[in-house]
Amino acid sequence: MTTVETRALVDIPDDLLPRILLPPLEVLPDARARGAECVWGGEPLSTATAVDLGERETDSGHWFPRACRPCTRRVVLAARNDHSGRCEQCTDDATICETRRALHVLVLELRR
Ligand SMILES: [Zn+2]
Ligand SMILES: [Zn+2]
């Protein structure tokens, strides 16, 4: 089966990946751990819609989690809100914080 890709894949910058908190690998069903299903919601993923969450290290080895867009957007949004509360730069002047801007751009990208 071939699917025509109509949307650009969302590419999460490496330095933002650690800010995206994942459920612990030990509690996940096999399909979510393998990246066949969304790591948060368990929705089936296709190459055209899946968001790559990078390579993660765990005690049991390397892990390549993937997720659907709505779940990723929710988590990135939470990361952005959480960031604002603890970043000195954001308390001072949020408009010049690179991290906040990068998270915000990612939220917008995931809305498409
Ligand atoms: Zn999902
Ligand atoms: Zn900040």
Model pLDDT for residues 60-83, shown as the tens digit of each residue: 778 899 999 999 999 999 999 999
Instruction: Name the closest ligand to CA 85.
Output: 2
This prediction has a pTM of 0.85
Task: Please compute the mean of the pLDDT values over residues 80-104 and round it to a whole number.
Answer: 93
**Above pLDDT 90, what percent of the chain?**
71
Query: 92 C-alpha to center of ligand 1: Å?
Result: 34
Which residues are near ligand 2, the ion (C-beta closer than 5 Å)? 87, 89-90, 97, 99-100
Tell me which of 9-13, 59-63, 75-79, 89-93 is least confident: 59-63
Helix 69-86 vs helix 98-111: angle between axes, to the nearest 10 degrees? Answer: 160
Above 70 in pLDDT, residue 1? Answer: no
CA of 61 to the centre of ligand 2 (A): 32
Confidence of residue 7 (pLDDT cuts 50, 70, 90): low
Tell me which ligand sits closest to the C-alpha of residue 67: 1
Within the chain, strands assigned E span: 51-52, 56-58, 61-63, 66-67
The structural domains of the chain, with segments of one domain joined by +, span 14-111
pLDDT of residue 60: 74
- pLDDT score for 6: 53
Ligand closest in space to the Cα of 97: 2
